[in-house]
Amino acid sequence: MYTLHWSPETGSFAPHAALEEAGADYRLVEVDLQGGAHHSEEFLALNPRAQVPVLTLPDGTVLTESAAMMLHIADCHPEAGLFPPVGSVARARAYRWLLFGVLNLYETDCRIVDTHHYSARESDFEGIRAKAREDLDRSWDLIAAAFGEGPYMLGRDFCAVDLCLLMYAWWHPDRGALVARHPVLGGLFDALRRRPAVDAIWERNFRSAQ
């Protein structure tokens, strides 16, 4: 059995959804971020960076980094089709956009939401956020341009990257404007929300959506 240490409104959603899509046997352990549980001795033994999610594998191995979790879950449950076949062009594209999201969308969102991690001077904060918003728009422009016929990133075939894009888009400071600018993303969101695995865990992860 997998164990996912998670919290709502965080990067926990994507691996949680991947476990659900895979039909994997897992349990959830909620980490109270507001109460500082991520700084407890017990949690820091799992992840010294005090971040969720953390995935403990059935053999006790601990994984951090949500992208690593997604790849491992996909590899262990190939029947779920979370990634295209190994060696295929489609899988190469999936790798590209999975890492692009982590290195650009996630990082840029952190500059907007957790600006204090990027400068010790509050006078720098607005400039950091303004540049991050520009970078965020540019990144979503590139993603939208890469979509084919849809509704998913790789066309008609769902993959785990779509789960990550849904999560990043939910964090966008103006989701309505994002979809208005890129209607293809609205199609992606609608297709994903209709998936039983996503629907089953949506409100638990995004309580602000209730």
Overall fold of domain 89-195 = Glutathione S-transferase Yfyf (Class Pi); Chain A, domain 2 (1.20.1050)
pLDDT of residue 119: 86
- Burial of 41-59, coded b for 16+ CB within 10 Å and e otherwise, reads eebeebbeeebbbbbbeee
Helix (H) or strand (E) holding 144: helix 125-146
**pLDDT (average), residues 39-63:** 96
The sheet carrying 54-56 orders its strands as 26-30, 2-6, 54-56, 62-63
Give the span between the Cα atoms of 172 and 60, in whole angstroms: 35
Arithmetic mean of pLDDT, 145-158:
92
- 10 Å Cβ neighbour count for 142? 12
Distance (Å, whole) CA 147 – CA 145: 6
DSSP 82: S
Query: Is domain 2-80 annotated with CATH 3.30.300.350?
Result: no
**Short-list 2, 5, 4, 20, CA closest to 202:** 20
Domain ranges of the chain: 2-80, 89-195
Contact 3, 98 (CB under 8 A): no
Residue 149's pLDDT band (boundaries 50, 70, 90)? confident
The pLDDT tens digits of the residues spanning 79-111 come to 999 999 999 999 999 999 999 999 999 999 988
